[in-house]
Each structure stands twice: as structure tokens, then as C-alpha cells.
């Protein structure tokens, strides 16, 4: 394959995206909302930091505190938790807007014939379009991350090396998520007769994968798992605790565990084919590693007043450990992009040019 044609197409596509009005408008909206979300996240982070400091001072004041218990210092990655929800919506819309007419518009304006009359292979064209779009998405994500870092510095927060690594991973995962929708849009642009149909079909897929599938998964899980086990009918009295009631309680707890495990397996099976759910899982664990204990750990978990999990004072897992747990979700996102790019590639190569 001649790389010259590929890079020429990619270069033109990259410049075309960056100078197109729709890209500029959606990117501007995305950056503004991300910056606002960052600001919101900063407030949340500062509150958590205040709590942490209060807890520390209480530990120092209270005598006889159990040795070894230390509250977990909040990470600045919490700020990015707020950003991820906007990436999931506006970022996906940006990716769809970039991809839905990449091929269909060329067919409509007849520029594809002019392009194919030049000495360039078809695969260079489709790969160049994919590469140009990917670079534009990387540009958008890097810009968003640089703005977020600037906001952190404005608030006099300097990320540690570990946090910088987590931000980098967050950025990469976000790009892979955006690529999944870009690939879907590109595929629809290749198979659809016109850009209007391509956009509608892509939005339908976006809705199905992003909203409908998780709801269906949850409903199916509820139907398959049935009613939750009933709590044993006895009144718990610490003065009259019998061995029988203790065994009954243990059995109940085991049944509850099995019940929720079954539900989780079914919802996971649905969620793994939803880019949104995969991205949510990954970004949540990267941005709030303490949730790791609540979701995967054996210890008791708790939910804060703001609705976020915290892991009852356990040490937060490292980035590597978190990545080890969400590798399936990352792989699913990558497979999504690859499969849809592959369909677009094959369809474009076989496209009838008349």
C-alpha cells in the first residue's frame, strides 16, 4: 500500500474536520461544558478534601481510636468523573457528526469519482478518512484534557505522577470510546445511500446502544433472577441470639449474594455490548478508584450523600489494579471500533462506483 495517498487523504480530512463549522461548534460546546463540569468537579473534590481533613483532625483529637484506621485522601481524578458524563453525550455527538457523511457526502457531491480518478488505492481513501477523523478526535480530546489541567493549575492543584498517568489513561479510554461512535458513523456513511439516512441510522444505533440496551439488560436481569430472597421472619435480639437464627441469617445473606451476583452477570452481558456502559465503568473506576472496593472488593461499601460510592476507608487500588479489572470493557470498546471500521472498509472496497 502506498503511504503517500493515505497521508494525503488523512491530511485533507484532518484539516477538513478542524475547519468545518459543525466540528468547531460542537467542539466549542463540548469544551465549554467540560470546563463547567470540571468546575463542578472541583467543588466536589474540595468538599471531599475538607471532610478528609476534618476526619484526620478528629482522629488526632479522639483518644483510643483504633490504630491503623486512616481515611483515604481524595484524588483529583474525582474531577474527571464529572467530565466523563459529558464526553459520553457531547463527545459521542461530535464523533457521530464527524463520521456520518464522510463517504455518503462524497457520493452525493460526486467528488468520489474525481478522487478515484487519481492514482490512489481505494483502501488508502477509507483508511485515510479513518486516520484523519481519529487525529481530529485526538485533537479534541487533548484540547479538553489540556483545558482541564489548566483549570486544576488555576485552582493551585498540581497532580502527582500517578494522577497524571490516570489522566492519560482516562484520555486514551475516552478517545477509544469516541472512536467507537466515529466507526459506527463511518460505517453507516458507507452503507447508506445518503447522508440523511446515515445520520438517522447512526443516532438510532447510538440510542439503542447507549440507552435502550442497559435498560433492557436491567429488565431482563430482573425477570430472570426473579424476586429477591425474603428476609427470615424473626426479631433480632442481641440478648436472645440463638445458633439457629444465626445460621438462618447467614443462609439469607448467601442467597442475597447469589441473587445479586446473578443479576450482575446478566446486566454485565448486556452492558459489555454498550460502548457507553463500558466507558462509564472504566472512567468511573479510573476517576474514583475507591469505588473499586465497593464494586469488586469484599468489604462493606457505602454511598455518600452525593450518590457516589466510597470504599469504607480501605486503601484505594492502584491504576494497574483497576485496569486489570476493566480490561474486558477496554477490549470491548476496541473491538467495537475495529469491527465497525472493518465493515466500513469492506463495504467501501466493494462499493459500486457508477
- Binding residues (CB under 8 A) for another protein: these are 2, 4-5, 8, 12, 16, 19-20, 109-121, 352-354
- Given the complex with another protein, which of 190 and 290 has the nearer CB atom? 190
Contact by Cβ (8 Å): 177, 333: yes
Q: Could you tell me the CA-to-CA distances from 227 to 50, 65, 212, 222, 230 in Å, in that order?
A: 42, 42, 23, 8, 8
Contact by Cβ (8 Å): 343, 201: no
Residue 97 Cβ vs another protein, minimum distance, rounded to whole Å: 15
- Given the complex with another protein, which of 123 and 268 has the nearer CB atom? 123
Residue 30 Cβ vs another protein, minimum distance, rounded to whole Å: 21
Residue 114 Cβ vs another protein, minimum distance, rounded to whole Å: 6
* DSSP H helices in 62-103: 78-86, 92-99
Q: φ, ψ for residue 243 (rounded to 5)?
A: -65, -35
How many CA atoms lie within 13 Å of 246's alpha carbon, on the beta-carbon side?
6
- Given the complex with another protein, which of 2 and 43 has the nearer CB atom? 2
Residue 310's SS3 state is strand
Residue 106 Cβ vs another protein, minimum distance, rounded to whole Å: 8
Contact by Cβ (8 Å): 314, 71: no
Closest to 155 in 3D by CA, of 233, 76, 219, 223: 76
Distance of alpha carbon 224 from the chain centroid: 27
Residue 166 Cβ vs another protein, minimum distance, rounded to whole Å: 39
- Given the complex with another protein, which of 7 and 296 has the nearer CB atom? 7
- Given the complex with another protein, which of 127 and 278 has the nearer CB atom? 127
- Given the complex with another protein, which of 6 and 198 has the nearer CB atom? 6
- Given the complex with another protein, which of 35 and 120 has the nearer CB atom? 120
Contact by Cβ (8 Å): 138, 175: yes
- Given the complex with another protein, which of 10 and 76 has the nearer CB atom? 10
Q: Could you tell me the CA-to-CA distances from 280 to 12, 80, 214 in Å, in that order?
A: 33, 12, 12
- Where is 121: in which H helix or E strand? none
- Given the complex with another protein, which of 111 and 299 has the nearer CB atom? 111
Residue 118 Cβ vs another protein, minimum distance, rounded to whole Å: 4
How many other C-beta atoms can be found within 10 angstroms of the C-beta atom of residue 220?
A: 15
For residues 301 and 297, give the distance between their C-alpha atoms in angstroms, rounded to a whole number: 9
Closest to 168 in 3D by CA, of 310, 43, 287, 14: 287
Residue 122 Cβ vs another protein, minimum distance, rounded to whole Å: 10
DSSP letter (8 states) at residue 296: T
Q: φ, ψ for residue 185 (rounded to 5)?
A: -65, -40
- Please classify residue 275 by burial: count the beta carbons closer than 10 Å to its beta carbon, then call 0-12 exposed, 13-18 middle and 19+ buried: buried
- Given the complex with another protein, which of 13 and 163 has the nearer CB atom? 13
Amino acid at each position: 500500500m502506498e503511504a503517500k495517498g493515505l497521508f494525503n487523504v488523512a491530511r485533507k480530512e484532518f484539516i477538513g474536520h478542524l475547519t468545518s463549522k459543525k466540528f468547531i461548534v460542537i467542539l466549542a460546546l463540548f469544551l465549554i461544558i467540560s470546563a463547567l463540569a470540571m468546575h463542578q468537579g472541583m467543588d466536589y473534590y474540595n468538599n471531599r478534601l475538607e471532610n478528609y481533613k476534618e476526619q484526620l483532625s478528629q482522629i488526632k483529637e479522639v483518644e483510643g481510636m483504633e490504630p491503623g484506621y486512616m481515611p483515604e485522601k481524595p484524588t483529583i481524578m474525582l474531577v474527571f468523573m464529572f467530565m466523563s458524563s459529558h464526553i459520553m453525550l457531547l463527545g459521542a455527538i461530535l464523533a457521530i457528526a464527524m463520521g456520518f457523511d464522510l463517504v455518503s457526502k462524497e457520493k452525493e457531491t460526486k467528488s468520489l469519482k474525481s478522487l478515484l480518478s487519481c492514482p490512489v488505492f481505494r483502501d488508502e481513501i477509507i483508511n485515510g478518512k479513518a486516520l484523519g477523523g481519529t487525529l481530529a478526535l485526538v485533537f479534541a480530546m487533548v484540547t479538553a484534557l489540556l483545558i482541564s489541567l489548566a483549570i486544576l493549575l488555576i485552582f493551585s492543584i498540581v497532580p502527582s505522577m500517578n494522577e497524571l498517568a490516570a489522566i492519560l489513561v482516562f484520555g486514551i479510554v475516552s478517545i477509544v470510546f469516541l472512536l467507537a461512535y466515529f466507526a459506527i458513523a463511518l460505517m453507516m456513511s458507507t452503507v447508506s445511500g445518503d447522508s440523511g439516512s446515515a445520520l438517522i441510522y447512526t443516532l438510532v444505533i447510538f440510542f439503542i446502544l447507549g440507552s435502550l440496551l442497559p435498560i433492557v439488560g436491567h429488565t431482563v436481569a430482573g425477570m430472570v433472577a426473579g424476586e429477591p430472597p425474603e428476609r427470615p421472619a424473626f426479631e433480632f435480639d442481641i440478648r436472645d441470639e440463638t445458633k439457629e437464627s444465626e445460621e438462618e441469617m447467614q443462609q439469607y445473606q448467601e442467597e442475597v449474594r447469589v441473587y445479586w451476583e446473578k443479576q450482575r452477570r446478566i446486566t454485565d452481558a448486556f452492558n459489555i455490548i454498550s460502548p457507553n456502559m463500558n466507558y462509564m465503568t472504566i472512567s468511573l473506576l479510573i476517576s474514583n478508584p475507591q469505588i473499586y472496593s465497593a464494586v469488586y472488593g469484599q468489604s462493606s461499601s457505602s454511598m455518600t450523600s452525593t450518590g457516589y460510592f466510597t470504599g469504607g476507608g480501605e486503601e484505594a487500588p492502584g491504576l494497574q489494579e483497576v485496569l486489570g479489572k476493566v480490561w474486558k470493557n477496554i477490549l470491548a470498546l476496541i473491538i467495537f471500533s475495529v469491527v465497525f471500521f472493518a465493515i466500513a472498509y469492506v463495504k467501501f472496497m466493494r462499493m459500486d462506483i457508477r
